[in-house]
Structure 1
Amino acid sequence: MTTNQPGHTFQVDLRGLVDLLSHHLYSSPRVYLRELMQNAVDAITARRLLDPAAPARITIRTGVDGGITVEDSGVGLTEADVHTFLATIGRSSKRSAAGELDLAAERADFIGQFGIGLLACFVVADEIRVVSRSAKEPNASAVEWRGQSDGTYSIRTLPAGSVAQPGTTVTLTPRADGSEWLEPGNVLQLAKHYGSLLRYEVEVVDRHGDVSRVNDTPPVWERPYRSPAARREALAAYGKAVFDFTPLDTIDLDIPLVGLKGVACVLPTPAHPTRRSGNRVHLKGMLLSDQATELVPEWAFFVACVVDTTGLRPTASREALYADETLAAVRDAIGERVRQWLTELAASDLALLRRFLDVHHLAVKAMARYDDELLALLLPWLPFETTDGTVSLDEFSRAHPVVLVTQTVEEFRQVAPIAAAAGLGVVNGGYVYDRELVHQLPRVRPGTTVTDLDPETVTAHLDSVDPAAELAAAPFLARARAVADRLDTDVALRAFQPVGMPAMLVDNREARHERRRAELSAGADDLWAGILGSLNSSAPRAQLILNHLNPLIRKLSELAATADPQLSETAIEALYGQALLLSRRPLRPSDHALLNRSFLGLLEFAAQAAGTDKEGSR
C-alpha cells in the first residue's frame, strides 16, 4: 500500500542560481540595469491604471556608496506584496491572480513577463535594498526589504512619513567582481542603450547633481515633419546615429497587427549575404536586442532595422525574440514592405534605384528568384555579364532571342571571345543566382529561349579548315599533338574570329572531372589511388584549338618542316600557356612550370637568333 507523504518545498541555492543567470540565461551582467528600468516602467504603468494622472518618472542616481539607486513613481508595494513577490523566486508582480496587484487584465501593458528581474541584480550586487510605499493603500507605511547574495533577506516597516510619495527605490551595493558595471559612466551608457525609446521620462543624476536625459521620445518615426523630404532627412540622421553609417535610403515600417513601427536603413555599401545586419528591437520602448537577425528575411541582408513593438514575444532572458508564427508573419510583412519600396523606386526615382543596384544587385537577384513580378520590374536595371558586356537581361534578350547561359565562370571565360565574334548571345551563369534568373526569362519575356551552353557548342560554330591547308600543316600539327599529348590535351585546327587569338583551350565538364580525378589519384595513397583509378573514364580530353586565320599559327605551320624541333615544341607550349591563361582556369604547379619554361625557352631562342644575325652582319 502506498502512503501519500506531505508536500515538500524546493530548496534554492541562490548563489548557484545567480551563477546560472549570469553565465547561461543572460548574455552579460549589464542586463541588471535593464531589469531595474523595466520593473520601474511596469510599476508606473500599474499605477496609471489606478490613476491616469499619476506622475511618471524614473531617476537613476550614481555614485551612491559605489553603487546606484533607481527611483520610480510607480504603484509601489505593500508589506504583503513584499513577502509575496520579493521573497519568492519566479513570482511576478504583474501576474493576474486575484488580489495580487491585479491591475492589468491585459499583459500587453507590461514589459516584464517572467518574475526574475530583481534577482538578476545579484549578478553585480552583494546586497539589494528595496524601499517601497504602495499607492493602493495611501495610509500604509513604507516597507524596506534587504536581500543578500547568500540567499537571506530581512523585512521591516519604516516609520510613518519616512517616504513622502508612493513609489519604489532600489539600491544596489556592488560586489567585488561587478563594481565596474555600477560606475557612473557605464550606468549612463547602459541606461541610454536600453531606455532610449521608453515612454516615461528617465534621468541619470550623478553625485554632483548633474542630470542626463536618457530617452528621446516620441520616436523619430512618430514625429510630425514639414515635408516628406524633411522626414527622410530626419530618419537618415537617426540611422547614422544608431548604426554609424549614413543610409542609402530609409524605409518606413508599420505593422499594426503587432503594434510595430520603425525604420529600415538601407546599407550604403555592399554586404555579404552571410553577414546579416544587426536589427534593434524595442519591446514597449525597452531595447530587447540589437542583433535580432530573425526580424527580417534572409535575403534582406542589405537593411538594418530599428523597431518598437508591443505584440512580439521575448524569450525568458528578454534578449531575443521568441520564434513563433507571429514572428514569421512579421518577417514576411517586412519583406513585403522592402519589395514595395523597390517598386516605388522603379516608378519614381530611377537614379536612386541605379545607385541601390550598383551596391546591392546580389540581394535583389536573390529576391527576384522567387518573385516573377519583381524580376519583370527590375529586368531593365539588373546587371549581368554577357558577351555584349555588362548589360541588363532586358536589353540582352531583345538583341538575342536565343540566350545561351554557362554554368560556370570558367566556361564563360573560355567561350566569350569566340561566341561574341560568332554573334552568339551568352550570359555568364557562374555567379550566384544568375543562371536561375536567366532560366526564368521565358516566363517574364515570352518568345525568349534559354539554353545551357557547353564549350563544345561553341566549337561547333568554328569554321573547318580547307583540307589542302590542313594537309600542308600536318607536320606542325603532328608536333603539336605530341606536345599536347603530354598535357592530356588534344589539338585541332580551325578558323575563327577574332583573328588576333592564336589558340583557344576548351574543356567540357567531363574533361574537368577527369582531370580532377587524376590529380586526386596522384596525391593519394595506394588504396585510394587504386579506388580512383578504377573510376577512370573515357571522358574526352581538353582541346587546344589553333586558329588557322592567325598569322603566327600560319608562320609556325610553314616553318615546321625546317625549324628547330625544340623551337617548335617551345612555341606550342607557349601557345598552350597563353590559351590556359585566357581560359581563367586555376593553374596547377605543372602549369606554372610550363609557363615559366616556355617563356624562358623563347627568350633563349630569341637571344641565339640575335647573336647569329650579329655575326652574319660582320
Structure 2
Amino acid sequence: MNLPAAHSDANAAANANGTAHDSASVNTFQVDLRGLVDLLSHHLYSSPRVYVRELLQNAVDAATARLAHDPAAPVRIRLTATGSAVSIEDTGIGLTADEVHTLLATIGRSSKRDGLESARQEFLGQFGIGLLACFVVARQIRVVSRSARTPDQPPVEWLATDDGSYTVRTLPHEARPEPGTTVHLEPRPGAEEWAAPKRVEELARDFGSLLPYEVTFAGPDGVVREITDRPAVWDRPYPTPTARRVALAGHCAKVFGFTPLDSIDLDIPVAGVRGVAYVLPAATSPAHRASHRVYLKGMLLTDGADNLLPDWAFFVRVVLDTDTLRPTASRENLYDDETLAAVREALGVRIRQWLTELAAGDPARLAAFLTVHHLGVKSLARHDAELLELMLPWLPFETSDGRVTLDEFVRAHPEVHFTRTVEEFRQVAPIAAAHGLGVVNCGYTYDADLIALLPQIRAGVKVTELDAGAVTAHLDPVGPQQELALAGFLATARTRLDPLGCDVALRAFQPVTVPALHLDDREARHERDRAEAEADADTLWSDILGALRGSAPRARLVLNHNNPLVRRIAAIPDAELAGTAVESLYGQALLMAQRPLRPTDTSLLNRAFLGLLEWATHPTVTTPTATTPPAASSEDQQ
C-alpha cells in the first residue's frame, strides 16, 4: 500500500486558488512505504542503529519547541526497552490531531518548518523524514501525543504499520494527562536484535551522551539509568591540570582506543566549536584518512568524519560538539560547504597555535611530539615561513653530519647542498662528511620544499642542489705525474664502463676504506633512460628520441687513489683482468649506494664476479673468460 499524503486537502486548496483546470486535476505524489524503507536502510543510512538516534532527535526537538513555547515547562526524556518493544516518552510540545495527519504521515514535512522558524537553528532534525525512518527496524509504530499549545484537547493516537497504512483516533484525557509524546515501536521479524535492552542502551549512550536535556533509560529490571553525561569531559572543572590530562587521556582511550601523546583544546566560539584534539602516540601515514567524532548540538552525528581537518593535521584525532555545521541528508556525516571550510581553517589555526605555544613554553613536550610527528609539522611549515622559522631549532633532518636540525646544520655549513633522492644522498654522505661538505637528504617528504625556503629565513645561507661535478670538485686531485703514470689503466677503465654510460675519474679522498664512489645525478639518469629507450624503440621513435639527446653529464665512478686496493688494481699489467676488476669496483659502488640495479648492471656484476673467480682458480689464465683449462705452472706443480 502507498502512504496517504492528504491529497484531498491539496486538491481543495488548488481549486480554491483557481489553479485547477477543466482538462487536468491536481494530484499529489504517492509514496510506497516498503520502497522507502528499503531506500533508507540500504542507501541512506549505514546501519539500522540510527533508529535510536531518530527517536532521541524527535524527543529533543519536541522538548526544544516546548521550551520555546513555555520556558518554565518541565523537560524529561525516557527511553525504555523490554526486549519485545522499544518506547520513548518526552514532555515536549506534543501534536494535535491535525498535526498528526499533516506531519507524521507526510514525507519531507517537519514541524520545524511551521510556526517556529525563528528557533529553527535549535533543532536537530532538518529533512522531515522523522519517525518513518524507524520503520527500518519496526513492524508497527504507535504514537500517543497531547499538544501543549491546546492542552484542553484530548490526546491523539497515530498507529502505523510497515505496509503503509495508518489510523488516527482520539483517546480519553486520562490516556495522557500531561502534554508530550510517547512513541512505541514493535520490531519486525529479523530486527529483534536492535530492540534488545542492552543494545538500545548502548546506542542511546553513544548517540545521546551530550544532549542538552536529561535522558534516562529503563530496561526490563525497571532500574532507571542516566544516559546523558554532561558537561562534556573537556568542559568539566578539574582540581589540577594533571587531573584534567588524566581525564582526557581516559576519554581518548575509551573513544579511540589509544592513550594520546598530548591533547589540544578546541574552543573556537566564532566557529561554534568546542572539543579536543588528541595527538596520536605513534607516527601515521599522511595518506591515511583520519576519522573524527562529531556531535551536532549534543547529538552524535558521526564517528567517521574525514573532512574536518586540513590534510596536514593527520597526527590528531578530534572529538567536538558544534552548532554551526550542516549534516548530510542521512545525518551521518558533514556537508562539505563554505561553513565547514571555515571551521576546518579555524581548527588548523588552533593546532598551529598549539605548536607555537609548545615551542615558546614547553620545549620538552615539543621535542617529544616532533620525535613522532615531525612529518606533519614539516607539511605545515612548508606553507608557513613563520612557523618554519619557529620550528628550525627542533625539526630533524638527515644530513652528512648525522640527524640534526637545520638550525644547527646551517651554523656549520653556510653553503647547504641537498640531494633530491635518498640514493643520491647515500652515495655522497660518507665522502661529504669526511671532506666538510654539508649535504642534506631531501629525498623524504616535504624536505625539498623546506630547504628551498631556508634562504628566506636565514640570511647569508646559500642552498644548491648537489651534482656529481660538485662532489668531484671537493675531492683532492691526484698529482699530474701519478695520473700520467696511470693513464693506461684509466683508459682501460673508461673503455669498460663507457657502454654503461659512466665516466671514470681518479681522486684522493677519505675515508681510505672506500675504494670507489659512484656519482649519478638526475640529469645523468634521464639521459641514460633516454638512450636505453632509443635503443629499444623502432625507427620512428628512435629518430624522435635521438633528436631529444641532450648534453647532460654522465654518471661518474670516482676511484680513490688513497685506497690500497685501487692502487694494486691499477698496477695489474693484464688489461683484461684490470678491466674486470674495475667492473667489480663499479658494481660494489652501486651496492654501497643502495641504488636500484638495471639489468645491464646485474649482468655486469655477474660477469665480473665469475671472471674474478675464474682468475682466482687459474691465475695463469690471461683472459678471465677463457673456457679451456690452462697448463699447470711450476708454482701449481710445487
TM-score greater than 0.5 by the shorter chain: yes
User: How far apart, in 1, do the equivalents of 2:532 and 2:163 lie?
Assistant: 66
Q: Does 1:230 align with 2:271?
A: no
- Give me the whole-angstrom Cα distance separating, in 2, the residues matched to 1:196 and 1:522: 70
- Superposition map of 1:101-120 within 5 A: 102=116, 105-120=118-133
Moved more, 382-391 or 199-208: 199-208
Amino acid paired to 1:28: S
Deviation at 1:54, TM superposition (A): 3.3
Report whether the alignment pairs 1:30 with 2:40.
no
* Residues 401-431 of structure 1, C-alpha deviations (whole Å, 9 max, x = no match): 1112222222222222232233221111221
The CA distance in 1 between the partners of 2:490 and 2:467, in whole Å, is 25
In 2, Cα distance between the equivalents of 1:527 and 1:24?
Answer: 54
Amino acid aligned to 2:590: L
* Alpha-carbon distance between aligned partners in 1 of 2:417 and 2:549, rounded to the nearest angstrom: 31
Change (3 A) 1:391 1:30: same
* More displaced stretch, 363-372 vs 56-65: 56-65
Q: How far apart, in 1, do the equivalents of 2:528 and 2:459 lie?
A: 40
- 1:19 paired to 2:38: yes
Counterpart Cα distance in 1 of 2:357 and 2:633: 73
**Superposed displacement of residue 61, structure 1:** 2.0
Distance 1:374 1:301 in 2: 18
How big is the shift at 1:528?
Answer: 6.0
Once residues 449 and 74 of structure 1 are traced to their aligned partners in structure 2, the CA distance between those partners, rounded to angstroms, is: 71
Unaligned runs of 5+ in 2: 1-20, 621-631
Question: Which runs of structure 2 are paired with 1:397-416 in the superposition (5 Å)?
Answer: 397-416=410-429
- The alignment status of 1:490 with 2:503, answered yes or no, reads yes
- Identical counterparts, % of pairs: 61
Asked if 1 retains the 8 angstrom alpha-carbon contact of 2:271 and 2:346, the reply is: no
- Tell me the equivalent position of 2:28: 9
Shift of 1:360: 0.5
Deviation at 1:338, TM superposition (A): 0.9
- Pairing 1:26-105 to 2, within 5 Å after superposition: 26-65=45-84, 67-95=85-113, 97-98=114-115, 102=116, 105=118
The question of whether the paired residues in 2 share the 8 Å contact of 1:248 and 1:356 is answered with yes
- How far is the alpha carbon of 1:502 from its aligned partner? 1.1
Whole-angstrom distance in 2 between the partners of 1:119 and 1:527? 68
1:591 corresponds in structure 2 to: 601
Q: Which moved more, 1:488-497 or 1:304-313?
A: 488-497
Q: CA separation of 1:381/1:613 partners in 2, compared to 1, >3 Å: closer, same or farther? A: farther
| Secondary structure at the counterpart of residue 436 of structure 1 | helix
Q: Which moved more, 1:240-249 or 1:138-147?
A: 138-147
Comparing 173-182 and 497-506, the one that deviates more: 173-182
Q: 1:570 aligns with which of 568, 580, 589?
A: 580
Q: 2:221 aligns with which of 208, 214, 222?
A: 208
* 1:39-89 Cα distance to aligned partner (Å, 9 max, x none): 011111222233434333322222342x32222222221212211211211
Change over 3 Å in CA distance of 1:179–1:372 after alignment to 2: same
Structure-1 separation of matches of 2:587 and 2:224: 74
The aligned runs of 1:148-187 (5 Å cut-off) are: 148-187=161-200
One of 279, 282, 289 as aligned partner of 2:292: 279
Q: Bigger shift: 354-363 or 581-590?
A: 581-590
1:593 CA displacement = 4.0
Amino acid in the other structure paired with 1:571: A
* Aligned residues of 1:411 and 1:455 also touching (Cα < 8 A): no
How far apart, in 1, do the equivalents of 2:327 and 2:213 lie? 21
The structural deviation recorded for 1:176 is 3.3
Q: Which amino acid aligns with 1:570?
A: T
Q: Cα–Cα, structure 1 residues 526 and 213, in superposed 2: closer, same or farther, change >3 Å?
A: farther
Query: Partners of 2:59 and 2:540 in 1: how far apart?
Result: 71
Letter in 1 for 2:76: R
1:234, distance to aligned residue in structure 2 (A): 1.5
Deviates more, 1:294-303 or 1:312-321: 312-321
Q: Give the root-mean-square deviation of aligned CA atoms.
A: 2.6
Q: Is the 8 A contact 1:74 1:166 kept in 2?
A: yes
Instruction: Give the superposition deviation at 1:10.
Output: 1.8
For 1:165, give the aligned amino acid: E
Cα distance 1:38–1:421, how it changes in 2: closer, same or farther (>3 A)?
A: same
Deviation, structure 1 residue 248: 0.7
> Given residue 25 of structure 1, which amino acid in structure 2 is its aligned partner?
L
Report the Cα distance in structure 2 between the residues aligned to 1:155 and 1:529, rounded to whole angstroms. Answer: 84
Structure 1 residues 234 and 587: CA distance shift in structure 2, 3 A: same
Task: Mark the CA change 1:437 to 1:4 in structure 2 (over 3 Å): closer, same or farther.
Answer: farther
Q: Is the contact between residue 415 and residue 455 of structure 1 (CA under 8 Å) also seen in structure 2?
A: no
For residues 300 and 614 of structure 1, the distance between their equivalents in structure 2, rounded to whole angstroms, comes to 76
Say yes or no: does 1:542 pair with 2:560.
no
1:512 is matched with 525
- Spell out, residue by residue over 1:18-37, the C-alpha distance to the aligned partner (whole angstroms, 9 max, x if none): 22222332222221111111
Change (3 A) 1:614 1:16: farther
- Indicate the residue corresponding to 1:418 in structure 2: 431
CA contact (8 A) 1:78 1:132 kept: yes
1:396 to 402, 409, 412: 409
Q: How does 1:356-375 map to 2 (within 5 A)?
A: 356-375=369-388
- Alpha carbons of 1:134 and 1:449: their partners in 2 closer, same or farther (altered >3 Å)? same
> Tell me, what secondary structure is at the counterpart of 1:156?
strand
Task: State the partner residue of 2:324.
Answer: 311
Structure 2 vs 1, CA of residues 462 and 53 (structure 1 numbering), >3 Å: closer, same or farther? same
Query: Between Structure 1 and Structure 2, how many residues are aligned?
Result: 608
Please report how far the alpha carbon of residue 294 of structure 1 lies from its aligned counterpart in structure 2 after TM superposition.
1.9
Q: Give 3-state SS (helix, strand or coil) of 1:165's partner.
A: coil
Distance 1:63 1:525 in 2: 79
Partner of 1:105, secondary structure, is: helix
Other structure's SS at 1:440 match: helix
1:157-176 per-residue CA deviation (whole Å, 9 max, x = no partner) reads 12231224332222222233
Query: Do the aligned partners of 2:370 and 2:394 also contact (CA within 8 Å) in 1?
Result: yes
Partner SS for 2:112: coil
The answer to whether the 8 Å contact 2:83/2:197 transfers is: no
Matched AA of 2:359: A
With over 3 angstroms needed to count, the CA separation of the structure-2 counterparts of 1:68 and 1:517, relative to structure 1, is farther
Tell me how far 1:436 sits from its aligned partner: 1.4
Amino acid at match of 2:87: T
What is the Cα deviation at residue 91 of structure 1?
0.8
Cα distance, 1:267 vs structure 2: 0.8
Verify the 8 A CA contact 1:414 1:455 in the aligned structure 2: no
Question: In the TM superposition, what is the alpha-carbon distance from 1:551 to its structure 2 partner?
Answer: 1.2
Deviations 1:209-250 (A, max 9, x none): 344433211111111111222222212221111111111111
Offset of residue 131 of structure 1: 1.5
- How far, CA to CA, are the matches of 1:573 and 1:183 in structure 2? 76
Structure-2 separation of matches of 1:130 and 1:614: 112
CA distance in 2, matches of 1:189, 1:22: 20
487-496 vs 376-385, which moves further: 487-496
Superposition deviation, residue 3 in structure 1: 7.2
Q: 2:149: which partner in 1?
A: 136
Query: For the residues of structure 1 that align with 2:323 and 2:470, how far apart are their CA atoms?
Result: 60
| Residue ranges of structure 1 left out of the alignment (5+ in a row) | none
Deviation at 1:204, TM superposition (A): 3.0
Give CA-to-partner distance per residue, 1:336-390, whole Å, 9 cap, x none.
1111111111122111111100111011011111212211111101001111111
What residue number does 1:558 align with? 571
CA distance in 2, matches of 1:596, 1:237: 59
Q: Answer yes or no: is the 8 Å Cα contact 1:199–1:218 preserved in 2.
A: no
Work out which of the residue numbers 458, 473, 478 in structure 2 matches 1:465: 478
> What code does the residue aligned with 2:112 have?
K
